[in-house]
Amino acid sequence: MVEISSDVIRGYNDTMILYILRKAPSYGYEISKQIKQLSDGKYVIKETTLYSAFTRMEKNGYIESFTAAPEADGGGKRRTYYRITGNGQQYYKEKCEEWNLTKEVVEHFITAEE
């Protein structure tokens, strides 16, 4: 079975995370679970990759972190949550455009022929 090479996907981890955070603030495991689900289990993000992305994007001002306990399981453990910022929204849109262009370009060179 073909697996995604981490070099290729690296540039788009941020995009995936921002896509999820656009809907609602979330925390580490929840985000990694959603990435797995939305990709039909074809991509599992590593914990270190995810945390690196958080740190980098927070430094660049695309996301903000805060500590909270989830309301769902009452008195649940406190976790670090992330929310998207205005800059993050902007960055997400740019990344989408970039991907569309990338896809378009690379598509020209992809064939199903043996």
Partner 1 sequence: METIKNYLEAMFANLPRTPEVIKAKDELWQMMEDKYNELREEGRSENEAVGVVISEFGNLDELAETLGLEKAVEESHELMELEPRRQLTMDEVRDFLHAQMARGTMMGIGVMFCIACPIWVILLGDTILEGIGVLLLLVQVALAVGMFVFASNRHARWKYIYKEPCSIDYATADYVASEKERYNLGLKGQRTMGILLCALCWVPAMLFDTIGLAKLSVMDNIVAVLLLLMVGFGVFFIINSSIVRASFEKILKLNDEKTMSSQFVDAQKGLYENPRLNNLMSVYWPTVTCIYLSYSFLTFNWGSSWLIWPIAGIAHSVIKKNMGSVKQA
Q: Where do contacts with partner 1 occur on this chain (CB under 8 A)?
A: 27-30, 32-33, 44, 46-52, 54-56, 77, 79-80
Query: 10, 83 in Cβ contact below 8 A?
Result: no
CB of 101 to partner 1, least distance (A): 27
Nearer to partner 1, 37 or 111 (CB): 37
Q: At what angle do helices 47-59 and 28-38 cross, to 10 degrees?
A: 110
Of 5 and 111, nearer to partner 1 (C-beta) is 5
Comparing CB distances to partner 1, the nearer of 83 and 111 is 83
Q: Which is nearer to partner 1, 13 or 92 (CB)?
A: 13
Least distance (Å) between residue 50 CB and partner 1: 7
- CB of 40 within 8 A of CB of 28? no
Name the minimum Å distance from CB 78 to partner 1.
9
| C-alpha–C-alpha distance, residues 94 and 88, integer Å | 10
Identify each DSSP E strand in the chain by its residue range.
26-27, 63-68, 79-84
Calpha distance 9→69 (Å, rounded): 31
- Least distance (Å) from partner 1 to the CB of residue 56? 5
